[in-house]
Chain A
Amino acid sequence: MLPVLQVGPLAIQFPGLIMLAGIWLAILAAEHAAPRRGLIPDQLSDVVLISLVAGIVGARLGYALHFLDLYLEQPLALLALNPNTLSVFEGFAVGILASLVFIQRKQLALLPVLDALTPGIAVFAIAMGIAHLASGDAFGAPSSLPWSIELWGARRHPSQVYETLAASLMFWIVLRVQEMQVFQGFLFTSFIALQATARLILEAFRGDSLIIAGSLRAAQLVSLVVLVASLLILHFLSRGIRNPDETASLRL
């Protein structure tokens, strides 16, 4: 664990730094993948930046909505540089909505954009695992396995290491799959399916799961639904193509 990096008098929040590096690498990866999908790299990095900015603004406004009376009294608090006063759900919703609006207005095709973004998302997932390792978040369930680590008052599964390894494996798969000529949307949707599978499996080793219905882990139920949904979407996307041989022969 290394939550704070001390550089002289500066205390740098190490997990935040890794996330920033992750975002930067994600944009690079997306720009790199753009020409393959017939997209302009700049448009793709615009999509990422717009969803980021909108996401952060949405997350703060979402948080403020929960405490409307307080923020109405001192609206300047909306600008506080405190990452704790952000609502994750509202942030995600607004960020995704904003990028969809942008994609619509620029008349970009949604599926190629998602496919081109996928290597970037995969890179970011690795960064997230490392950031969790640095902060001790997303920690594991108590365990006595030989590779368990001492964290938060107990010996635990190194769930952050599992997460990072799974994300690295998925990044490798994405790099392989993006070479394949399959139907549009395949890369993104199959990545979502893999991500859901990984979460479904790895959530079992987490020590901070949200528990519902007595003892079930909410994240696993959501992952299973997402996995089945993405398989169905894959099926329907593939049926949308009249002649699969035609797309395959584009390689030649």
Chain B
Amino acid sequence: MFYEFVLELGITNRLVAWIESPRRMTLIIVLVLLLGSGWIVASAAPLGSTTAGLIPSPRPGFLAPDFELDLLGSGSINLLDLRGQVVVINLWASWCPPCRAEMPALQRVYEDLQGEGLIVLGVHMTAQDSPANANAFVQELGLSFPVLLDRSGLVGKLYQSRALPTTFFVDRDGVIQEVVVGGPLNEVTLRSYLQPLLAESK
């Protein structure tokens, strides 16, 4: 105990002496600058190493994973075909109250911004729900944007859905720019995400 105390006192005094001395401090700072800038240059990112926009993964900065799903009703949609448009991918189920709560805002924003190149995809987690429930839900809320049926749960898995609703905002190049887990999203938030994405040229 006493020994440790003396030792620490010694270290303290030596440390303070180094910090106090202008010459030693100048030396330390020059060393830090040299080593630091050397390390910065050595660890400079090789071209493309951090531009993750080409790897498909469900997070901002990455390519939105591709999928093709049947529409509620008839026909199908392939995400790849929607390049050039801003895409909102909303994962939902009929039994999820916050999903229900945010649908009117999604519908209004879709109606309003459709002309500027926005498309909303309501991806129904059919594997955890039923097509009949999906249909009743869409009728009741009067949704006009495309609703897709994820029967096998593949899209849920691709997009690592762990909570509903989860909403992805994809830019015109197919890169995810924003992910919101949970809800309900309000109209202002939706618009604040979409404004900059829609402003990017086609």
Interface of A toward B, CB cutoff 8 Å = 3-4, 6, 11, 13, 63, 66-67, 70-71, 73-74, 77, 80, 82, 84-85, 136, 141-142, 152-154, 179-183, 200-201, 203-204, 206-209, 211, 215-217, 220-221, 223-224, 227-228, 231-232, 234-235, 238-239, 244, 248, 251
Contact of B162 among A3, A181, A217 (CB under 8 A): A3
B43 CB to nearest chain A CB (Å): 3
A80 touches B186 (CB 8 A): yes
B25 touches A244 (CB 8 A): no
B37 part of interface (Cβ distance < 8 Å)? yes
B181 part of interface (Cβ distance < 8 Å)? yes
Give Cα distance in the complex from A244 to B12, angstroms: 10
Chain B residue contacts of A152, Cβ below 8 A: 52, 55, 57, 59, 62
Chain B residue contacts of A220, Cβ below 8 A: 36, 39-40, 43
Give Cα distance in the complex from A70 to B44, angstroms: 40
Interface stretch, picked from B13-21, B66-74, B112-120, B146-154, is B13-21
A233 CB to nearest chain B CB (Å): 10
* Selected A-B contacts with CB under 8 Å, 10 pairs: A67-B188, A71-B188, A74-B188, A141-B45, A180-B8, A216-B45, A217-B43, A220-B39, A220-B43, A235-B25
A13 touches B182 (CB 8 A): yes
B1 part of interface (Cβ distance < 8 Å)? no
Chain A residue contacts of B15, Cβ below 8 A: 182
Asked, given contacts A67-B191, A244-B13, whether A82 binds B163 with beta carbons under 8 Å apart, the answer is no
Interface SS, B side? helix
Asked, given contacts A67-B191, A77-B189, whether A232 binds B29 with beta carbons under 8 Å apart, the answer is yes
Interface of B toward A, CB cutoff 8 Å = 5, 8-9, 11-13, 15-16, 19-20, 22, 25, 28-29, 32-33, 36-37, 39-47, 49-50, 52, 55-57, 59, 61-62, 162-163, 178, 180-182, 185-189, 191-192, 195
A248 touches B9 (CB 8 A): yes
Asked, given contacts A67-B188, A80-B186, A244-B13, whether A203 binds B43 with beta carbons under 8 Å apart, the answer is yes
Contact of A142 among B29, B49, B56, B57 (CB under 8 A): B49
B35 CB to nearest chain A CB (Å): 9
Chain A residue contacts of B181, Cβ below 8 A: 3-4, 13
| Closest residue on chain B to residue A220 by CB atoms | B40
A70 touches B163 (CB 8 A): no
Q: Which 8 A-B pairs have the closest CB atoms?
A: A204-B43, A77-B188, A4-B162, A153-B57, A11-B163, A215-B44, A153-B55, A67-B192
A234 CB to nearest chain B CB (Å): 5
Asked, given contacts A73-B188, A228-B32, A231-B29, whether A238 binds B20 with beta carbons under 8 Å apart, the answer is yes
A82 touches B180 (CB 8 A): yes
